[in-house]
Amino acid sequence: MDLQASIDKNNIPKHVAIIMDGNGRWAKQQGEDRIFGHHEGVNSVREIVEACGEIGVKYLTLYAFSTENWNRPKEEVDGLMELLVATISMETPNLHKKGVRLQVIGDILSLPASCQTELQESIDLTAGNSKVTLILALSYSSKWEITEAVKKIAKQVEAGELKSENIRDDLIQNNLSTHAYPNPELMIRTSGEHRISNFLLWQLAYAEFYFTDVFWPDFRKNEFYKAILSYQNRERRFGKTSEQISNN
Ligand code: FPP
C-alpha cells in the first residue's frame, strides 16, 4: 500500500535527519561483501530524497560517514570514498533537475581530494535550488563540531570581541556547521540500533526519534512514510504540559 496519501501535508517536518545503518548486515544476508550493501544503500538515498521532494520535507541530513568510520578496514573506507565520488558525479544532474541543493557538514578537508572536488562542483551547481536541501554529514561527528564551535567562540573572547557573559545558546547554535538550517524535528535510525552515535547532539535536543529494524538498503519510500506518520502521531510538548499544547 502506498502510504503517501495518509500523510497530513500540513504537518510535515521541515528537517529530517537519518542515520543510515545496516548496509553491512544487509549485504551479509545476501552473501555479499559489505561494500555491496553500501552500493544498494545509494538506491535508498535516491528514493528518500525523492520522497522528501514529493511530500515537502525541505531539509534532509544523511549521516553518510562518521569521524569514527575512518577506523574501518582500509578497503571499506576506500570503497566508500570511491562510491561517494561516483554517486555524486552520477546523481548531480538528476538532483539539479529535481531542484535539490547539495550541502555538506563535517571535517571536509580530511576527505580525499577527488571527493572534495566532486562535492564542491555539485554544491556550486546546485546552490540556487530550493526544493530540498540535501545535507551530507561526511567525516562528521557532533563532538568534533561542538569543539570547533567552542574554539571559534574562545578566539572571539581572547580577541576581546565577545564577553563571556554574552555566550548564550543562540551564539553556540550560530557557530555550528548547521547554523543555516533549522534543527531537525525528526531523527530516523535504521537497522534496530537505538543510539545517536555522535550525530547532531545539539541540534536533536527536541527532535522526535524513530527507530526501525529495517536495514538501510530496504528503507524505501513507504518505510520513510511510516516514519513521517509516526511523527505526525506524536505530541510535541517542548517541556510544556499536554493541556497547554491543546489550548494553543
Ligand atoms: C552504515 O551501515 C552505513 C554507512 C557507514 C555508510 C552509508 C553510505 C551509503 C548509504 C552510501 C553512500 C551515500 C551517499 C549519500 C552517496 P553499516 O556499514 O554500519 O552497516 P552494519 O551496521 O550492518 O555493519
**Strand ranges (DSSP E) for 56-202?**
59-66, 100-105, 132-140, 186-189
Tell how far the Cα of 194 is from the centroid of ligand 1, in angstroms. 16
Q: Which residue's CA lies nearest to atom 7 of ligand 1?
A: 64
Dihedral angle of Cα 109, 112, 118, 119, to the nearest 10 degrees: -40
Active site residue 21: yes
pTM: 0.95
**Contacts of 232 by beta carbon, 8 Å cutoff, 6+ apart:** 7, 8, 11
C-alpha cell at 39: 552500493
54-to-47, 60, 107, 126, 181 alpha-carbon distances in Å? 10, 13, 31, 18, 20
Determine the pLDDT at residue 1.
Answer: 66
> How confident is residue 240, by pLDDT bands cut at 50, 70 and 90?
confident
Domains in the chain, ordered, with CATH? 11-233 (3.40.1180.10)
Cβ of 69 below 6 Å from ligand 1 = yes
Mean pLDDT score of the chain:
96
15: CA distance to ligand 1 center in Å?
20
- In the residue annotation, 69 being an active-site residue is answered as yes
Those residues with Cβ within 8 angstroms of residue 57's Cβ, 6 or more apart along the chain or in another chain: 12, 13, 14, 15, 16, 51, 132, 228
At 60, give phi and psi (nearest 5°): -130, 120
Q: So what's the pLDDT on residue 61?
A: 98
Q: How many CB atoms lie within 10 A of CB 4?
A: 16
